[in-house]
Amino acid sequence: MNESLVNTKATPGRILQIRRDFPVLERQIHDKPLVYLDNAASTQMPRQVIETVSAYHTYHHSNVHRGVHQLSQEATDLYEGAREKVRAFIGASSVKEIIFTSGTTDAINLVANSWGNRNIGRDDIILISNMEHHANIVPWYMLAKRTGAKIEVIPVLDDGSLDMDQFAALVRKPNVKVVCVNHVSNALGSVNPVEQICQICRERDICTVIDGAQAIGHFQIDVNQLGADFYAFSGHKMHGPTGIGILYGREELLQEMDPYKGGGDMILSVSFDHISWNELPYKFEAGTPAIAQAVGLGAAVDYLNGLDRTYLAKYEDELLAYATKRLGEVPGMRLIGTAPQKVSLNSFVIKGVHPHDIGSILDGEGVAVRTGQHCAEPVMDRFCIPATTRASMSIYNTFEEIDMLTEALLKVTELFDVND
């Protein structure tokens, strides 16, 4: 880590240049500069993405795969072009492995219903980590209720790391059929050893479903290197629009799966006594898709590809270290999740102050954070807390903004008379 950069609290010019691409960062909130630290919920979109989506609506809007006229062909080219951009971005082998969904939640539901209904039966074991977002718990719970399968939980250590010793023991059970784990915890920021997990599972012929929503915006993903069977993420976590997501699946697995949504465009032929599915990936994309959102996701890929992501990952590490240091100066502060491998996210509680009160006071200071359980109730129970305040950073955040967060938190502790 570059200690001199952290100690000066001066944000590099390269980051300031990136900030200029994001119009929302110029806003004032309650007559104060916006400090946007809610990136784990949604990252902001750069001007390049906004303009691409606007241009689609202005000049190219039509339905895809359905017409021979010029606008339809243009829309189809943009839509399928975005699929190819995503394929290359995550290192998938074929566009047949890239399924457009409405988001990570939709993608995991697709796997739980389509792959799960085919492969999970009574007394089979579904392994899920204790740090999962509800999107990687509820679909599997519903599957277990339907099939009589059992859910077993991979524990989390006190620092927010996955208990890999317990994982190694659990995965040896004979009926384990699938392991569902996030690449990065949205509540803790912990980065899980997904490549190691996938390798262990592959050796035992166990399917892996990776929630990549919190990883995709922070570092480069190569699905083939990771060895994941399924990898899901959302556009709005990587500076793209909401309403669009990706399910990557290994082609041989997808070929075996039946779709779980029916409608137009996912079929080759339909009669009242026989239906044949379309080829990959279209058999999983029923109805008119989110075309503009997919085009916007492609633009987000272009934007990120134009940046030095290795440099940005190191910068975010420095930002996290600085934020951790500054938050430690706040009376009554307890950080939740201190794993050695983390993205730039700090969840915390302050003694005697409800997280919702913290969030409201911070909003008055122009600082946007997230408060609550972060759709991760089991991990809150693990740490015996009802909720946290979460400050999550991205490529455009600055050291100065961390100072503003800290100063706002000091106002909270003064107001509530918090002492160490």
| Closest by Cα among 414, 352, 360, 350 to 388 | 350
Residue type, 227: G
Residues 6 or more apart whose Cβ sits within 8 Å of residue 222 = 90, 91
Q: Are 179 and 208 in contact (CB under 8 A)?
A: yes
Residues 6 or more apart whose Cβ sits within 8 Å of residue 335 = 324, 327, 328, 346, 347, 348
Q: Which helix (H) or strand (E) holds 233?
A: strand 230-234
What is the distance in angstroms between the CA of the first residue and the CA of the last residue of the chain?
29
Residue type, 218: H
Residues 6 or more apart whose Cβ sits within 8 Å of residue 157 = 163, 339
Residue type, 92: A
Bond into 281 cis (ω within 30): yes
Residues in the chain: 420
Give me Rg for the CA atoms of the chain.
22
Active-site hit among 180, 201, 375, 384: 375
Residues 6 or more apart whose Cβ sits within 8 Å of residue 7 = none
At 153, phi and psi to the nearest 5? -115, 130
Tokens of 28: 């004032």
Tokens of 230: 């399924």
Tokens of 155: 């524990």
Q: Is 5 helix (H, G, I), strand (E, B) or coil?
A: helix
| Closest by Cα among 83, 11, 19 to 47 | 19
- Alpha-helical (H) ranges within 306-376 are 309-327, 355-364
Active site residue 198: no
Active site residues: 375
